[in-house]
């Protein structure tokens, strides 16, 4: 180990020249090396694997969306049948019908949220589906609790409130009195229109 108290010795001029020669020799050898050597290319297998992974992920996502759209269409057609059933006969005092409507309501709310997430608010089908649920949820405007309130709370499962039965009866009577212009017919038409455009 060098003594720290020893003064620094001047560099011999021959040593500096030797260093320069070594560096210049290295540069010379690098210039003479063949430049034809290309950098290694990615393996062809890796490229194919990446392509197929992305392709299969995309097709799987599309098939899931198609399957979910079919499920939504099935749920909407069941709801459409229930509305048509209420148009034809008074089911206001039937607890099993109330249970069916309530279960369909919960399913449709879930389907609508999924459709809005998948397609966005600006999609006309998703917007129409949301409008349908909003109209049902706020019907009738003059009541303290709406049809959507009773369906959300599970009317027919453990309780069948009188105001809910009155709303169903009023819907049935409106359909009998005005077959072409009533809420049930309007909702049925909207549901079938959504099914057609899914």
Identify the band that residue 69 occupies on the pLDDT scale cut at 50, 70 and 90: confident
Residues near 85 by Cβ (< 8 Å), separated by ≥ 6? 91, 97
pTM: 0.66
Q: Which of 29 and 126 is assigned the larger pLDDT?
A: 126
Q: How many CA atoms lie within 13 A of 141 on its CB side?
A: 3
pLDDT at 134 exceeding the cut of 90: yes
Q: What is the DSSP letter of 132?
A: H
- pLDDT over 90 (residue 18): no
Q: What is the mean pLDDT of the chain?
A: 83
pLDDT of residue 39: 60
Give 27's pLDDT tier (boundaries 50, 70, 90). Answer: confident
Cβ neighbours of 184 (radius 10 Å) = 20
Who wins on pLDDT, 164 or 117?
A: 164
12 pLDDT band, cuts 50/70/90, is low
More confident residue, 158 or 196: 196
Question: From the CA atom positions of the chain, what is the Rg in Å?
Answer: 38
Q: 59 with 144: CB under 8 angstroms?
A: no
The Cα diameter of the chain in Å comes to: 116
Dist. CA 93–CA 161, nearest whole Å: 10
């Amino acid at each position: 180990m060098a003594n720290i108290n020893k003064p620094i010795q001047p560099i011999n001029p021959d040593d500096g020249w030797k260093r320069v020669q070594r560096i210049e020799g290295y540069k010379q050898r690098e210039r003479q090396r063949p430049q034809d050597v290309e950098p290694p290319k990615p393996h062809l297998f890796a490229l194919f694997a990446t392509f197929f992974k992305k392709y299969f992920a995309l097709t799987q996502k599309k098939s899931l969306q198609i399957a979910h759209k079919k499920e939504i269409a099935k749920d909407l057609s069941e709801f459409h049948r229930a509305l048509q059933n209420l148009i034809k006969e008074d089911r206001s005092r039937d607890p099993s019908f109330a249970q069916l409507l309530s279960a369909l309501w919960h399913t449709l709310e879930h389907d609508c949220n999924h459709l809005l997430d998948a397609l966005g608010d600006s999609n006309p089908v998703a917007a129409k589906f949301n409008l349908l649920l909003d109209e049902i949820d706020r019907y009738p405007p003059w009541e303290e609790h709406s049809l959507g309130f009773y369906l959300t709370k599970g009317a027919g499962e453990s309780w069948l409130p009188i105001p809910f039965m009155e709303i169903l009866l009023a819907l049935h009577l409106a359909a009998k009195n005005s077959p072409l212009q009533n809420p049930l017919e309007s909702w049925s038409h909207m549901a079938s229109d959504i099914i057609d455009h899914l």
